[in-house]
Amino acid sequence: MSVDELKRGFDRLASGVVPVEDPYGRLMQRKRRRWRVRTGKLAAAVAAVAVSVVAAGVALQGAGDRGGTGFHGWAVTSDWTWRLINSPTRGDLADDAAVIDEILAVERSSANENLPHTKVLFAGNVGTRTVALVARYSDTHAVLDSPSALRGTSQWLGSGNGVMSPVVTLASRFIPDESAQWTLVLAPDGCETSTNVGTYDGMRDRTWQPAPTGDWLVNDSATPPYLRVTCGGVTRQQGPLADLNRLDIDLSRTGLSPAPQGATAGPVLTGAALTAAGVLAFDQLAEAMHRTSGADVVWTGRVPGDVESGDAVLVVGDGPVRPVVLLIAGIDLQPIVALEPPRYGSGDEDPAENQSIRQWSLVSTGSAAEGDLIAVRVPRRAGARAELTDRVLATTPTTAVRVEALDRDGNVVAQADVTDGVAVLALRLSAAVSLNAVDANGVAVATTPFVEPKAGARVFNEKIINNW
Amino acid sequence: MRGGREGDGVADDFRDFVRIRYGDLLRTAYLLTGSSHAAEDLVQSALLRSMRRWEHIDEPMAYLRRAMVNQQVNLWRRISSHEVLSAVLPEGRTAVRPDQTEAVAQRDELLKALGKLPVRMRAVLVLRYWEDLSETETAQILGCAPGTIKSQASRGLARLRTVLEESGTQRRPGPVTPWMVGESS
């Protein structure tokens, strides 16, 4: 393809894109919606089906957003997804034949010959709307649609082609003009859904409230629920229904401003703005994880060895097992969160391109016991995401000169000298060690356990379960 | 601070900018994402973020291009764009005119081919050949060396060619038909 051919192709593609009549009004509508969400402390985004229900505002001439002859849906890779599709229709309107017919009529308007089967998975009144979750599928592929209409009306707002997974969710924040706050969760027939009640202190088991409806639930709390789904006694999913990969920090609420991005090639976060961003990042993560808040900034500075990174801030919460957040400033204010160890071979980015990723701020999380010895893994960029490294940053009491990591037999498996109050140890991932801060006389002046999940995503060293 | 404006002046400036440039941003976002929904989401998200610091932004279009590209290469947005990419397909073709069928098919094929590029390579092509930015300007937005942009653009074009050939649907470049021109709104 030549440059001219590509330019003509771009012209053809873009020519069908027509903005809404009042883009500023639409933007302010979204801003008000975000404000409502934020004031309700819904700071994190519910991840599932997000894209499928983003407000439609663009008219495409000659090309629809669904249907057509080439789209086969998303490959179904789990038997649990089929089990969800084959489950009976749930919801308080599941037996209302007129509503089901209406939903199916809406679906017929976007029929896709490659997905010949349609199944209403859920139909019910939620918030101010009648909501449906619909699977369209073939023998191998499926998509999730989530049309909704204001109660008592037949003006359905279509949205669809979302990914089918064993558990599907729909959140009110993705429906334009929905004033109520709710999250709908639908699991396969026979599973049990529960949500975390209250705040979790990191010490004991979480307290779970089983949904009276069993395999589906509507949660109307301001914070996205922390969900558990068990099937046959096995916990298949446990974690927050929030997108923790990228945080949305609004410093304007603090009265502070980052350095203007267009005016600097360096990190935008320094000084008070950096610490404020660290606290806001902590707040978002703690809220999503239903953890206690009460954040304290315990250290700011440059992570030893990170010559190209910006300043960092370490924020610690309260409780018997204290949540820890490390934020390293980038050129871009909004941070990405390292949730997992490296996923070897999973990146699709050209390594030569990774230089630009350095503009993002980075966040990692950990946990700490009482005391001044606080340790957290240092995050790094990996393509378009962040991952945990084998470097552990530890803050120490002022008298400490060295930090040692001891295995269960008391052998020193890693150690590092303290510089400016912190040490960085090379410690393999999935560690289960004790960290000792040692003074000049070789006496341990602080000690703390450092125990991590063996694999998978984790926040505050709590494993996020996805076992479908 | 742009123009030294404050308060209502800044708000008016932002409102005027949105009204004038929203369509341009939306078209770029559509080429970056391949989806009308994702495009609007991308534009609105970038605008809302820029709104907070509008008075500090000297070159709004450059800033917003950069913001949109940065957002788009985020992992979850990348997944999202994949989710809807294949959904952007033409409606049933039985009722369209032959030339319309051809145009829709070409559009469809290009979208699908773009969807098979790494997200940053796609961004390079959009910035270079839709926005007509120079290699240096594109490099500034993407935060890499101009040489990287040059190689990415070259590789992107080559990969598009390969994808279209592999699909067996590459069409000979022909004159832009009157229908294609008239398609513009």
Region label for A22, one of left (φ > 0), alpha (ψ between -120 and 50) or beta (otherwise):
beta
- The mean per-residue pLDDT over the stretch B1-13 comes to 61
State the ipTM, two decimals.
Answer: 0.76
Q: Which two tokens stand for residue A124?
A: 């019910």
| Interface residue of B1, B15, B65, B75 to substitute, partner A, most A CBs within 10 Å | B75
Q: Is pLDDT above 70 for A347? A: no
Q: Is pLDDT above 50 for A327? A: yes
The Cα A103–Cα A100 span in angstroms is 5
pLDDT, tens digit, 9 for 90 and up, residues A75-113: 888 999 999 999 999 999 999 999 999 999 988 877 888
- The mean per-residue pLDDT over the stretch B67-75 comes to 70
- Structure confidence at residue A257 (pLDDT): 62
Q: Which residue of B has its CA nearest to A259?
A: B56
Tell me the pLDDT band of B63, cut-offs 50, 70 and 90.
confident
Judging contacts by C-beta atoms under 8 Å, the chain B residues touching residue A64 are 88-91
Of A52, A258, A353, the CB nearest to B148: A353
| Interface residue of B6, B83, B104, B131 to substitute, partner A, most A CBs within 10 Å | B83
Tell me the pLDDT band of A130, cut-offs 50, 70 and 90.
very high
Percent of chain A with pLDDT over 70: 83
Q: Which two tokens stand for residue B36?
A: 């009308």
R_g of chain B, CA atoms, integer Å: 18
In sequence order, what are the beta bridge partners of A325?
A: A315, A365
- Structure confidence at residue A183 (pLDDT): 93
Tell me the pLDDT band of B99, cut-offs 50, 70 and 90.
very low
Q: Of the segments A54-58, A193-197, B112-116, which one has the largest average pLDDT value? A: A193-197
Judging contacts by C-beta atoms under 8 Å, the chain A residues touching residue B57 are 260, 262
- Structure confidence at residue B172 (pLDDT): 38
- Structure confidence at residue A258 (pLDDT): 61
The Cα A364–Cα A366 span in angstroms is 7
Report yes or no on whether pTM surpasses 0.80: no
Q: How far is B41 from chain A (nearest CA, A)?
A: 7
Cβ partners under 8 Å of residue A313, min gap 6 = A274, A275, A277, A278, A297, A299, A300, A326, A327, A329
- CB-CB under 8 Å, B161 with A1: yes
Q: How far is A340 from chain B (nearest CA, A)?
A: 14
pLDDT, tens digit, 9 for 90 and up, residues A2-48: 898 899 889 888 887 877 777 888 888 777 665 544 433 332 333 32
Closest listed residue to residue A121, CA positions, set A74, A85, A152: A85
Q: How far is A388 from chain B (nearest CA, A)?
A: 16
pLDDT, tens digit, 9 for 90 and up, residues B10-27: 778 888 889 888 988 999
Of B30, B37, B78, the CB nearest to A54: B37
- CB-CB under 8 Å, B48 with A30: yes
Q: Which residue of B has its CA nearest to A351?
A: B148
Question: Roughly what angle, to the nearest 10 degrees, separates helices B8-33 and A23-39?
Answer: 100
pLDDT, tens digit, 9 for 90 and up, residues A188-224: 999 999 999 988 988 888 999 999 999 999 999 878 8
- Structure confidence at residue B104 (pLDDT): 56
Q: A23: part of which helix (H) or strand (E)?
A: helix A23-39
| Interface residue of A2, A3, A4, A6 to substitute, partner B, most B CBs within 10 Å | A6
Judging contacts by C-beta atoms under 8 Å, the chain A residues touching residue B38 are 51, 54
Of B80, B143, B185, the CB nearest to A15: B185
- The mean per-residue pLDDT over the stretch A119-130 comes to 95
The Cα B131–Cα B65 span in angstroms is 9
Tell me the pLDDT band of B103, cut-offs 50, 70 and 90.
low
- Structure confidence at residue A157 (pLDDT): 79
- The mean per-residue pLDDT over the stretch A312-323 comes to 92
Q: How far is B3 from chain A (nearest CA, A)?
A: 15
* Interface size, chain A vs chain B, as Cβ–Cβ contacts under 8 Å: 235
Closest listed residue to residue A325, CA positions, set A307, A309, A334, A312: A312
The Cα A384–Cα A202 span in angstroms is 30
Tell me the pLDDT band of A336, cut-offs 50, 70 and 90.
confident
- Structure confidence at residue B81 (pLDDT): 33
Q: Which residue of B has its CA nearest to A46?
A: B76
- CB-CB under 8 Å, A74 with B103: no
Between A361 and A49, the more confident residue is: A361
Closest listed residue to residue A354, CA positions, set B134, B62, B120: B120
pLDDT, tens digit, 9 for 90 and up, residues A260-281: 555 455 566 778 888 888 999 9
- The mean per-residue pLDDT over the stretch A177-196 comes to 92
